[in-house]
Each structure stands twice: as C-alpha cells, then as structure tokens.
Structure 1
Amino acid sequence: MTDPVGDGLDRALEGAFTRPLPKSAQAQMKYLVKQLKGTRATARLLGVSQRTVERYVKGGLKRPRRELRERMEREVKKRWQPKVRERARRKASTTDGLVLSARARFGFTAAAGTTDDARVRDIIQALPPDWADRLFTAREQGATEQQLQRIAAEGLAEMYFRANNTRAHGLGVEFTDIDRVDVGL
C-alpha cells in the first residue's frame, strides 16, 4: 500500500456502492469501452492493443495477466457509480464526517518539559465534516500522499490529542511510520 490515506479515502467511497462491480474480464472491459466511448481509448488507457480490447469484449480472451487485471479493476472502480460516490462524499463533507482509524507512530512538539517521544499508537477517531471535506477536496485536487497525511495528522491532533482544541494548546503532532489507515463514512 503506497498511499494509505488516499487509498483509505477511495475504499470508504467504494463502500457506499449499491451494486457490485463487474466481475469477469469481459464485463469489466465492456464497461470501460462504454464509459470511454470506444475500444481505442480503452486500449490507450490500459496500455494494450485495440484488438486485445475487442477480443475481451467478444469473450475470446477471458483471463488477463495480473497487471492488466489490476489496471482494469482500478479503472472500473474509479468510474463505478459516480453519483453514489459523490452523494457519499457530500454527506461526509457536510453532515456526518468520517472515522479515521490509524496505526502509526505519533510524536509531538510541545512546550519544554513535556514528553515528545514518538511511539506507535492505534487510534480510532471521528473527524467532523470540515476535516472530511478538507481530505476529500485535497484528494480530488491531486494532493500528494504526504499532503493527505499532513491533513489527517492535523485532524487527529485537533480532535484526539487536543480534544477539539480544549486542551494541550500548541501541541504539534507528527504522523509517521504508518502501518495502516482505514477510513469509514
């Protein structure tokens, strides 16, 4: 997992899907051809020949190699049920917020005399809608994984460590050595 926060946001939105993704290679390829309005664009997207795409659509080819199968699944997920995905994102960004579950190393910067030793923690914290909106907006605008991690760390610092800014004012949180990040809506 190269992008734990970004992938977590994507998985959370995929959890809102109301219908299952197409399973077979033929069904996935047909869906992509329909979405991209042609076999040429689909072939370009997947890095295969137009004839290969046509063979999958007709059912002549059934079992793609692993790399192609993963690309097809990723591209189908990216385009599947855009209205459902947008509705879930809007609900999280305006009313519900999200739940961030992370296992990572957290360290602190604070006033002299306090402990700032980093240690691995398991944290499950609800983040309000404004933090959900910041994360989803940054993801849509092409933020890097480091930027998403910084936003997540700021949200955890405010809501978990500073208790919605009612204590530990000025406490800075470092979010490193991420083992896992799960996002729930």
Structure 2
Amino acid sequence: MGIVGDGLERAVQQAFTRPIPKSAGAQMRYLVKQLGSTRTVADALGVSQRTVERYVKDQIRRPRADLAQRLEDAVRARWQPRIRAQARRQAATTTGVVIDTRARFGFTAAPGSSDDARVRHLTIALPPHHAARLFDAQAAGASEQQLRDITAEGLGEMYFRDGGRRAHGLEVEFTDVEHVAFDL
C-alpha cells in the first residue's frame, strides 16, 4: 500500500480487542481456519502444504524471519473483521479521525497571497464525512495518490479554510510526506 493507506490500516488495528496469536503454530491454525485448507494457506504464504501441516501440528516452532513476517501480516490482515468494520463505521458516522502529519503543504490562492510550500507539522481532527470518504476510497481500492488527495482536501477544509470560514477557493497540495498517523 502506501503511507496513507498503511496509516489508516494501523489506526483500525488499534481497535482490536484481543492480541493476535503469538506462536507460529497458533497463527497457522488460525489461517487454516479462516482460509479453509492447508493448500490455500501454503499458496498465500509461498510455502509448501507440508510445511503448513508441520506448523499446525507444532512440529516446527520457529519460522524463518521472512516467513514469520508474512505469517504475522496474513493473520493481522484477517484478525477481528467485525471489530475493524465497527471501528470504521464509528469513525465514518460519529467520531471522525485525527490526523498527525508532517509534510510539505503548498496551495494555490488568489494573486498577491503567499503560496510557497513549506513543511508543517499538523494534528487535525477531521469530521466523520471526511473519514467516510477516506475509508470508502480505501475499500474501493483507491491508489495512494487518491488517498493523499482526499487527505489534502480534508486538511485544507479544516486547517486552511477553517471549516469554510476563510480562504474560499484555496486548493491544498500535500507532498513530501515525512509521516502520517491516524487515530480513531
């Protein structure tokens, strides 16, 4: 994904009510239960079916570093789907999201104003309709640039245009993102 998409995913994962399974065997058993067979798990992780069976039976306990990361990512991507959906729904309807970012912001405005881009560190609460747009775009498979554009629109609306009270017609550019973190 990208920095914005990953940030949204990390924010949703903070809503988990239980930690993911710790051991490789427990993680493998969870994946087999979710995906239905050891063959599909093996295909998803890029290992043999027999290797998956050995992890399920706890005959192998410590995976290689690369497999351990793929295994954890696969489990994390499927862990508590109803809790994820509930967190997204709540952010999109009632609470909104908080964005903490350090990036270069520039804008186009009326002649005579300063539109030079500069690095700013912003922590802004976006209302639910902006959160809904972000989550809907992410669910629809939007590109990283599209997610950045939606984020820029939200930041422009809440920070630069102050919720519509000033700087009408200001278009915000959100580039050179150093970090972005979301909180639900």
Fold in common (TM above 0.5): yes
Runs ≥4 in structure 1, deviation > 6 angstroms?
A: none
The C-alpha deviation readout for 1:96-148, integer Å capped at 9, x for no partner, is 10101111011111111111111111000000110000000111111111110
Cα offset, 1:65, TM superposition: 1.8
Counterpart AA for 1:79: R
**1:43 lines up with 2:3 in the alignment:** no
Work out the CA distance in 1 between the residues paired with 2:104 and 2:41: 41
Q: Structure 1 unaligned runs (5+)?
A: none
Cα offset, 1:180, TM superposition: 0.5
> 2:150 — aligned with what?
151
Between the aligned residues of both structures, percent identity stands at 62
The C-alpha deviation readout for 1:49-80, integer Å capped at 9, x for no partner, is 10111111111222222221111111111111
Counterpart AA for 1:98: V
Work out the CA distance in 2 between the residues paired with 1:71 and 1:170: 45
Counterpart AA for 1:145: E
Counterpart AA for 2:103: A
* Pairwise CA RMSD: 0.9
> 1:57 — aligned with what?
56
Work out the CA distance in 2 between the residues paired with 1:182 and 1:67: 26
Counterpart AA for 1:86: A
Work out the CA distance in 2 between the residues paired with 1:176 and 1:64: 39
The C-alpha deviation readout for 1:32-60, integer Å capped at 9, x for no partner, is 01100110000011111101111111112
> 2:32 — aligned with what?
33
> 2:107 — aligned with what?
108
Counterpart AA for 1:183: F
Cα offset, 1:3, TM superposition: 1.2
Which secondary structure state, in structure 1, belongs to the residue aligned with residue 164 of structure 2? coil
Work out the CA distance in 1 between the residues paired with 2:159 and 2:103: 14
> 1:21 — aligned with what?
20
> 2:176 — aligned with what?
177
Q: Structure 2 unaligned runs (5+)?
A: none
Counterpart AA for 1:128: P
Cα offset, 1:166, TM superposition: 1.0
> 2:11 — aligned with what?
12
Work out the CA distance in 1 between the residues paired with 2:97 and 2:153: 14
